Amino acid sequence: MTAETRTPESRRIEAALTELWERIYDPQSRAVIDGLPAAGPRRVLELGAGAGSMAYWLAERADTASVLAVDTDVSALDADRSPKLTVRQLDVKEAEFEEGSFDLVFARALFEHLDGAEEVLARAVRWLAPGGWLVVEDFYFLPSEHCATPAGRALVAAYLQGWKAAGADMHWGRRLPSTLARAGLEAVDLRVTPLGPGQHADDNELMRLRMALQGEGLVASGLVGAEDLKQFVANLDDPRARDVTTLLFSAWGRRPSA
């Protein structure tokens, strides 16, 4: 859906989706960053900053010296929110920064969409100062054939097919801990969060809104049947359809000091 074809209703749904996304995922991201030791004020880089909720939060922290938020589309980012915040339009696949420029690099739901993700991640490690931390969060879709309901199997299969056609690797998240270690980081650790129908009321609402926005297109493309779409939405609040369809992998590691 392009900017020209978006209706007022689709824009309303997109805004609601953004708000829900931040409500669901920001607390986890914040908890990971809060758990990292900080030797002094951090120079922070956020890759794929989106609508800016994490960049704004990072800029408000007392242990932050500066935040550089980059994305290919920065129209939703407000550089005036904080004197510590700088916004720059960049494609992370082409971006380059001086080695050792940042004490914290953060990216969420970004690397899974990148061709050559491991090479970009290796460059992000070089951008870290010695002792600096890289925090990456990405999703891992479980096999669609293991879903709890026929409608769930159809919807997850459709999403996986759509993501693959768009060049995304929705199995990337599982490889994050080993990828960080191979990139030379130490103290690598992770947290895994289950997601899916019935896991949380906000999860259900997020999926309901996504189906309202994207469902018609999925049916029109032939990726899913209209009846499966209708049944999936109807099942969201049914405990008999509760499922784990996706895992959020949060992984982090530190560049060695010497």
Residue-wise pLDDT for 40-52, tens only, equals: 899 999 999 999 9
Decide: 130 and 184 in contact? Cβ < 8 Å.
no
The fold for domain 8-254 equals: Rossmann fold (3.40.50)
Residue-wise pLDDT for 197-222, tens only, equals: 999 999 999 999 999 999 999 999 89
Nearest to 132 by CA among 229, 43, 30, 18: 43
pTM of the model: 0.94
**What confidence score (pLDDT) does residue 5 get?**
62
Residue-wise pLDDT for 125-177, tens only, equals: 999 999 999 999 999 999 999 999 999 999 999 999 989 999 999 999 999 99
Enumerate the domain spans of the chain: 8-254
**What confidence score (pLDDT) does residue 258 get?**
72
**What confidence score (pLDDT) does residue 38 get?**
81
**What confidence score (pLDDT) does residue 2 get?**
46
pLDDT(80) > 70 = yes
